[in-house]
Amino acid sequence: MSKPVCLEDFEVHCSQILDRNTRDYISSGANQEQTLKDNIEAFKRYRLRPRMLRDVSNVNMKTTIMGYEIDFPIGIAPTAMQKMAHPEGELATARAALSMKTLMIASSWSTSSLEEIAQANCNGPRWLQFHFFQDNRITMDLIRRAEQAGYNALVITIDFTKMGKRLAEHRNKFYLPSHLKLGNFNNETLNTLRYSTKAQQQPTSDSVEYKSKHSLVDKTFTWDTITWVKSFTKLPVIAKGILTGEDAKLAVQHGVDGIIVSNHGGRQLDGVLATIDVLGEVVEAVEGRVEVYVDGGVRQGTDVLKALALGAKAVFIGRPVLWGLAFQGQTGVEEVLRIIKEEFKLAMALSGCEKVTDIQPSLLAYDKKFYCKL
């Protein structure tokens, strides 16, 4: 493959080199993938209103996120089982985040342990994503391990009471390859679960393990569960999966320290709004009381610019990181981040923004042809 010049180039390469099981797991969304597609298309509905004759000779992309300085407002979203894309998996991604001086959110469903990821990231800012589990001891154990390993915040995925119906995974009878294991859960934890392998034509311990990880998740948690988590950790708690102003207000009332506007990359409930379309509503609802971030569909520097203009403190990218990982490990992830970083810098300059704080709502216009005529 020739040298990639945009994030889509990495996607094309991955479609050619990854096996179907891995490729479809990374790329697919729920049901008919309406939300998956709209996450990307929605950015096109927002147009830019650049300002001219401003000094942009020294564009500065630095910002802070939960008090930690990063070189540019683009972080790495949590994505599961990264060793399916590359043998070094999460460790390569962690080193890339450190090299590029940005933030990584490690998934609790990683194929490396959270301690290994922390060691690979050294002194870089890092958050741990997790779900609420049926057994509170599993939740508490992950949090204590995160504290001891030096993580800076906890990200709770709140839109995963049940797994969305992903047709590609059903067709492929998705399985975790036999040489891989979930890094944060031991066999004893998985063996305490009740599971059925009847749906598998040729069940293996690894396919059982993948199915079992979803059985770990608590389906009864409420906003009070976040209050419970806040009661025994001093780490900031970020709620990932907010899509309405109503829930944003509830999240703040229950003590969250940050919000990630997210629809799980279109992998949960199909037909929900694109994240960029609800970002402004969430920002308005929290009234500056917590930082707001967004993920879903970010593919180019102008997408980042638009998200910040709507009030996001930073954006997170998921699938493009996996494309870079599959392309060339740590170097590939660094290249993905470098390309979108430079695109963002160029977009800032051409819009008349010398620093991140210059990016204001007045920079955007909503394309009138998309207004509802009902």
Long-range contact list for 256-260, CB < 8 A, 24+ apart?
256/226, 256/290, 257/66, 257/153, 257/290, 257/291, 258/66, 258/153, 258/290, 258/291, 258/292, 258/293, 259/286, 259/290, 259/291, 259/292, 259/293, 260/155, 260/292, 260/293, 260/294, 260/295, 260/316
Residue 66 one-letter amino acid: M
The torsion angle over the Cα atoms of residues 260, 62, 70 and 286, rounded to 10 degrees, is -20
Chain centroid, CA 132 distance in Å = 17
Selecting among 86, 131, 254, 264, the annotated active-site residue is 264
Rounded CA separation 295/274 (Å): 10
Q: Which residues contact 349 (CB under 8 A, 6 or more apart)?
A: 56, 59
Q: Is 294 helix (H, G, I), strand (E, B) or coil?
A: strand
Residue 38 CB-half CA count within 13 A:
20
Per the annotation, the verdict on 13 as an active-site residue is no
State the angle between helix axes of 7-17 and 20-27 in degrees (0 to 180), rounded to the nearest 10. Answer: 150
Active-site amino acid positions: 264
